Structure 1
């Protein structure tokens, strides 16, 4: 059978791959996309979207428990875990189906199966119907990543879970151990803790949410502890002894190992790139610690072969993958493309309280040699936050004292994952402190705190 020929073949239909395919098609390229499991990838099916649906349920449950504070009466508060999970899966399913529609609309040929690079410009697709060969001058690898499984801490789906198990729990944890306090670990800890699980988080670094600004990490930790979470920092889970109804964790802190019993463990200790069985080594693609090495334009060094998203390294975020997908499609179509700058990509964590940031932390800015001006503003000083019943939080801004450039913004509190975009746009437009100070923010809004934090950095704060 003759090989089917395209201008562009994308391997992987997550938020990097399917976006690259759509943008390529918009620019007049003939595009094929190969996906072995679900359109929408991990993000839509088993990651960003279903976790947000779960967290929304726990947030509403949390508010129901606080009803009397708002002058409301709610009796017999409870939840049905099965129904909560069912809603989450329905949300994911709706969006995954939508990707199929987008592929059709943009005339992207979809091949469901496992892809292998069969040589330069050649992709072999194995599906239940057999094997076929596709050819293209340009190939984009968007195969994503999967959860890291540490020896001895492997998931079994019964008592020790990965994110997929935690999204479809076989039981409600009573006593839960979460290993790892990055975004995934903290979001699951927040969800199950809110639903009443006695939750312990173990983090190997000296603080939780280790990529965030230190002040924000400390603030978030205090809030989690107020909610009853136990947090162990500079701690390592050495081994798990599994029984039918419990898991005994051997946890080392300060050189001493203690045993703790749990009925459920969630492992969230990072990710590894999906680089296996693609035929990358034969083509001479460089791989460093399970990630494909690329330049700023996502080129692999092999002509016509690009890598985007999680497989191409940090930050491991869906919006970074999508942006790289657009950039690579434009590059292939001969347009002027702009590389994605990692420090301009916002990170968002949907725990309670939410955490969001963009740019450099205060410590990183100083380490890079900047003379900094730092502003802060607490939620307690904001009318809208008090009216919402969400007075716990803070916004922190870091400026270059010499030029007024906004180097970084860091937030913890209600809805900060939506607020952060204001600073992202500001950084993209190379806004200075003066522009931000002269901007009129609407009242009453949470966004006013963004203004006040800037004013504070320059000794002009009004409401504090």
Structure 2
């Protein structure tokens, strides 16, 4: 029986532990905070629970477009609904604890030994677990490092957990901020800005790029920028924050051009740092990148024999789904089961703004640069019958396919619940389906998914010389 020691209990770690037990390994998992890691305790589960509350407020705000209103002197629904952020955050914390406990129960039921403490490598075949009762030496045939990452902090903008926050600290707020400044317009900054704006908070978003969500589909980012600005959010493009200082009940954010932005609270969403320092990696022969991430191959191997890595401590997509798959692949490979290398071309991801952005496969940038020779079809959501019924005007679906075979190689959906709508395109990309196969599959009428079939139909018979954006 192989001894498997896993450092870190996030998605990469706990999913690996389940697979390792399934394959007959003797598994010990060392986790310092709680099962589920940041994904469950301070990141994915909490933020998406907050966003779920914000989505309800968005529906209430837009109800008048559907002909719904209160009777009496003040007829606006949104004016009659308040936000008890203390209760919202209490629910968030409760759900995170419950999810963490469920994961722990499942691991114990499957025979995984859980140690509460921190782990570090002592060579490539031993892990030292430091607990409140002292150190324990754990011999290991296989080691998986899944230590995650933590919010990056600027020296001149140190979070205090009261007025200046990282995304992990926001869930202790008891009341909505009077004015929130969000520094950073990547996924985390955009999601929190969107959620708090929906909850009625005046938000200023400081973006160092020409528009929000740099690195994402440009058409999709343009839609989100438009929605943000139309909702009353102040978006400062090309503005780089260099410091944030607290002055009593205010936070003053200083920009590189010398101007300032004032708010009652400030969220610093300026990236993440891998948790790889001081845990014996380099001493064990594990190579790190310049950013401190662990170098891995497509089956999660590091440069040290018997040592694997998964999740945000590696330079692969920072997604819980990818971390989980990396962890599973590591165990399948190390314990001799059949395994397919990680294929990032089939990964679907989502940005939980309102509307959401979901993507899979190759990107518009790949098509435009010639990396992938393909065709593009984009259909605005406003032409969809179901979208009209729901008073949805912002969003689109976009499909990429190969010009000769029509094989679907990627797609983008910008819509409410895009995270659900992307699945047909994910299946198409994963299974190399053609646009004709996608178009010939029945969709419900009326439905937003009908636009996916319509876009596929419009790609039928086109050559690579034609412009296919509508």
Q: TM-score range by the shorter chain?
A: over 0.9
Please give the alpha-carbon distance, in whole angstroms, between the structure 2 residues aligned to 1:194 and 1:6: 51
Question: In the alignment, is the contact (CA less than 8 A) between 1:158 and 1:170 conserved in 2?
Answer: no
Of 278, 297, 300, 2:299 maps to 297
Of 152, 157, 161, 1:153 maps to 157
Q: Which residue of 2 aligns with 1:274?
A: 275
By how many angstroms is 1:403 displaced? Answer: 3.3
Deviation string 1:219-274 (CA, Å, 9 cap, x unpaired) is 1110111111111222201222321111222223xxx4322211111111111110
By how many angstroms is 1:157 displaced? Answer: 1.2
Q: Is 1:236 the equivalent of 2:237? A: no
Of 431, 436, 442, 1:429 maps to 431
Q: Is 1:26 the equivalent of 2:30? A: no
Partner of 2:33: helix, strand, or coil?
coil
Partner of 2:169: helix, strand, or coil?
helix
Please give the alpha-carbon distance, in whole angstroms, between the structure 2 residues aligned to 1:265 and 1:305: 40
Q: Is 1:15 the equivalent of 2:11? A: yes
Deviation string 1:22-58 (CA, Å, 9 cap, x unpaired) is 0111111111111011111011111111111111111
Partner of 2:401: helix, strand, or coil?
strand
Partner of 1:104: helix, strand, or coil?
helix
Q: Which residue of 2 aligns with 1:413?
A: 415
By how many angstroms is 1:359 displaced? Answer: 1.8
Q: Is 1:389 the equivalent of 2:391? A: yes
By how many angstroms is 1:197 displaced? Answer: 1.6
By how many angstroms is 1:71 displaced? Answer: 4.3
Question: In the alignment, is the contact (CA less than 8 A) between 1:358 and 1:409 conserved in 2?
Answer: yes
Q: Which residue of 2 aligns with 1:364?
A: 366
By how many angstroms is 1:171 displaced? Answer: 4.3
Partner of 2:422: helix, strand, or coil?
helix
Deviation string 1:381-418 (CA, Å, 9 cap, x unpaired) is 22222223333211111222233232321121111011
Q: Is 1:55 the equivalent of 2:51? A: yes
Question: In the alignment, is the contact (CA less than 8 A) between 1:40 and 1:96 conserved in 2?
Answer: yes
Partner of 2:39: helix, strand, or coil?
helix
Residues 227-376 of structure 1: pairs in structure 2 closer than 5 A: 227-252=231-256, 256-288=257-289, 289-376=291-378
Deviation string 1:189-221 (CA, Å, 9 cap, x unpaired) is 011111122111122222211121111111111
Aligned residues: 454
Partner of 1:163: helix, strand, or coil?
coil
Q: Which residue of 1 aligns with 2:457?
A: 455
Partner of 1:207: helix, strand, or coil?
coil
Please give the alpha-carbon distance, in whole angstroms, between the structure 1 residues aligned to 2:59 and 2:372: 42
Deviation string 1:64-105 (CA, Å, 9 cap, x unpaired) is 233344444456321211111111112212211100111112
Question: In the alignment, is the contact (CA less than 8 A) between 2:122 and 2:284 conserved in 1?
Answer: no
Question: In the alignment, is the contact (CA less than 8 A) between 1:181 and 1:201 conserved in 2?
Answer: yes
Please give the alpha-carbon distance, in whole angstroms, between the structure 1 residues aligned to 2:210 and 2:420: 28
Question: In the alignment, is the contact (CA less than 8 A) between 1:14 and 1:144 conserved in 2?
Answer: yes
Q: Which residue of 2 aligns with 1:93?
A: 97
* TM-score of the superposed pair, with normalisation by structure 2: 0.92
Task: Indicate how the Cα distance of structure 1 residues 382 and 155 shifts in structure 2: closer, same or farther if over 3 A, else same.
Answer: same
By how many angstroms is 1:355 displaced? Answer: 1.0
Q: Which residue of 2 aligns with 1:106?
A: 110
Question: In the alignment, is the contact (CA less than 8 A) between 1:377 and 1:456 conserved in 2?
Answer: no
Of 193, 218, 221, 2:222 maps to 218
* TM-score of the superposed pair, with normalisation by structure 1: 0.94
Residues 164-243 of structure 1: pairs in structure 2 closer than 5 A: 164-169=168-173, 171-243=175-247
Please give the alpha-carbon distance, in whole angstroms, between the structure 2 residues aligned to 1:412 and 1:77: 28
Question: In the alignment, is the contact (CA less than 8 A) between 2:84 and 2:175 conserved in 1?
Answer: no
Question: In the alignment, is the contact (CA less than 8 A) between 2:10 and 2:37 conserved in 1?
Answer: yes
Question: In the alignment, is the contact (CA less than 8 A) between 1:375 and 1:455 conserved in 2?
Answer: no
The farther-off stretch of 67-76 and 359-368 is 67-76
* Long gaps (5+) in structure 2: 71-76, 463-469
Question: In the alignment, is the contact (CA less than 8 A) between 1:46 and 1:164 conserved in 2?
Answer: yes
Of 126, 133, 142, 1:129 maps to 133
By how many angstroms is 1:459 displaced? Answer: 7.4
Question: In the alignment, is the contact (CA less than 8 A) between 1:376 and 1:457 conserved in 2?
Answer: no
By how many angstroms is 1:131 displaced? Answer: 1.4
Q: Post-superposition, which runs of at least 4 consecutive aligned residues in structure 1 deviate over 6 A?
A: none
